[in-house]
A and B are shown apart, each in its own frame.
Chain A
Amino acid sequence: MALNKPRTSSFSRNVSTVSTSQVPGLKHGPNGTVFLSSGIADLDKILGGGFPLGSLVMIMEDPEAPHHMLLLRNFMSQGLVHKQPLLYASPAMEPRGFLGTLPNPVSSKDDKSRDHDTEQEKTLRIAWQYKKYFGEQNLDSQRDGKAEYCNDFDLRKPLDRHALSGQCIDCVSLQDSPNLATLYERCSTFLAQIPRFDGNITSAGRISIQSFCAPQCEFSDKEWDMLSFIGSLKSLVMSSNAVAVITFPPSLVSPTVLKRWQHLADTLLSVRAVPDEDRELAKLLTGYQDMLGLLNVHKVARINTQVPIILEATTYSIKLHKRRSLGLECLNQAPVDASSGNSYGTSGSCSVSTKTGALDF
Chain B
Amino acid sequence: MSNSAHTLLDEALGFDDDGDDVVYFGSHNALGGAAGGGGGSAKMVLIKDCVETSGAFILHHLIKRSLSPNRPSDVVVFLAFAHPFSHYDRILRKLGCNVGVQRETKRFIYYDMLMPKYPGLGRDGEKGAEAALLHVYGNIQKTVELCSSPEGIKNITIMIDDISLMEVTVCGSSNQVLDFLHYCFTLATQFGCSVVILSHEDVYSSMDRPSLQRQMEYLANVIIKAEPLATGLATDVHGQLTVFNRGFCQGTGNSKTKIRNFHFKVKENYVEYFYPGSRT
A interface, CB within 8 angstroms of B: 1-2, 5-11, 31-32, 179-181, 184-185, 223-225, 227-229, 231-235, 238-239, 254-256, 259-260, 262-264, 268, 298-299, 302-308, 310, 352-353, 355-356, 360
Please judge, given known A-B contacts A355-B230, A360-B232, whether A180 and B207 are in contact too, CB under 8 Å: no
B206, A353: Cβ atoms closer than 8 Å:
no
Q: Which residues of A contact B162 (CB under 8 A)?
A: 263
Selected from A181, A228, A231, A308, the residue in CB contact (under 8 A) with B266 is A308
Residue from A181, A235, A254 with most neighbouring chain B CB atoms (10 Å): A235
A231, B169: Cβ atoms closer than 8 Å:
yes
Residue from A9, A232, A298, A310 with most neighbouring chain B CB atoms (10 Å): A9
| Smallest Cβ-Cβ distance to A9: which chain B residue | B100
Q: Which residues of B contact A303 (CB under 8 A)?
A: 87
Q: Which residues of B contact A355 (CB under 8 A)?
A: 228, 230-232
A228, B91: Cβ atoms closer than 8 Å:
no
A173 to B230, CA, bound (A): 43
B56 at interface (Cβ–Cβ under 8 A)? yes
B51, A304: Cβ atoms closer than 8 Å:
no
A305, B268: Cβ atoms closer than 8 Å:
yes
Q: Which 8 pairs, one residue from A and one from B, show the smallest C-beta to C-beta distance?
A: A9-B100, A224-B172, A184-B118, A255-B206, A356-B232, A235-B114, A232-B115, A304-B90
Q: Which residues of B contact A180 (CB under 8 A)?
A: 118, 120
A6 to B105, CA, bound (A): 13
0/1 interface trace, chain B 88-123, chain A, CB 8 Å (1 if under): 011101101111110110000000001111111100
How many Å from the CB of B14 to the closest CB on chain A?
23
A5 to B52, CA, bound (A): 36
Selected from A232, A239, A254, A268, the residue in CB contact (under 8 A) with B118 is A232
Question: With contacts A10-B85, A231-B169, A259-B203 known, what are 7 further pairs, Cβ within 8 A?
Answer: A10-B86, A181-B118, A235-B116, A259-B202, A305-B91, A306-B56, A307-B268
B234 at interface (Cβ–Cβ under 8 A)? yes
Q: Which residues of B contact A259 (CB under 8 A)?
A: 51, 200, 202-203, 205-206
B168, A227: Cβ atoms closer than 8 Å:
yes
B266, A306: Cβ atoms closer than 8 Å:
yes
A2, B200: Cβ atoms closer than 8 Å:
no
A352 to B56, CA, bound (A): 20
Please judge, given known A-B contacts A256-B206, A310-B233, A355-B230, whether A231 and B165 are in contact too, CB under 8 Å: yes
| Smallest Cβ-Cβ distance to B100: which chain A residue | A9
Selected from B52, B54, B96, B114, the residue in CB contact (under 8 A) with A2 is B96
A-B contacts at CB below 8 angstroms, number: 141
Prevailing SS type, chain B contact patch: loop
List CB contacts (< 8 Å) of B4-37 with chain A.
Answer: none
B interface, CB within 8 angstroms of A: 1, 51-54, 56-57, 60, 84-87, 89-91, 93-94, 96-101, 103-104, 114-121, 162, 164-165, 168-169, 171-172, 200, 202-207, 228, 230-235, 238, 266-268
A307 to B234, CA, bound (A): 13
Q: Which residues of A contact B57 (CB under 8 A)?
A: 306
B168, A228: Cβ atoms closer than 8 Å:
yes
A8, B104: Cβ atoms closer than 8 Å:
yes
A-B contacts, 24 listed (Cβ < 8 Å): A7-B100, A8-B101, A9-B89, A9-B99, A32-B90, A180-B120, A181-B120, A184-B118, A224-B172, A225-B120, A225-B171, A229-B120, A232-B116, A234-B115, A235-B116, A255-B206, A259-B202, A260-B203, A298-B52, A305-B268, A306-B91, A310-B238, A352-B52, A355-B230
Residue from A5, A260, A360 with most neighbouring chain B CB atoms (10 Å): A260
Please judge, given known A-B contacts A228-B169, A232-B117, A353-B228, whether A11 and B86 are in contact too, CB under 8 Å: yes
How many Å from the CB of B54 to the closest CB on chain A?
7
A164 to B264, CA, bound (A): 50
B91, A304: Cβ atoms closer than 8 Å:
yes
Q: Which residues of A contact B205 (CB under 8 A)?
A: 259
Please judge, given known A-B contacts A224-B171, A304-B86, whether A229 and B118 are in contact too, CB under 8 Å: yes
How many Å from the CB of A40 to the closest CB on chain B?
23
Q: Which residues of B contact A31 (CB under 8 A)?
A: 90
B101, A9: Cβ atoms closer than 8 Å:
yes
Q: Which residues of B contact A225 (CB under 8 A)?
A: 120, 171
B115, A235: Cβ atoms closer than 8 Å:
yes
A7 to B56, CA, bound (A): 25
A298 to B117, CA, bound (A): 28
How many Å from the CB of B64 to the closest CB on chain A?
11
A357 to B266, CA, bound (A): 24
A357 to B117, CA, bound (A): 40
How many Å from the CB of A240 to the closest CB on chain B?
12
Q: Which residues of A contact B233 (CB under 8 A)?
A: 308, 310
How many Å from the CB of B198 to the closest CB on chain A?
11
A181 to B122, CA, bound (A): 9
A199 to B213, CA, bound (A): 41
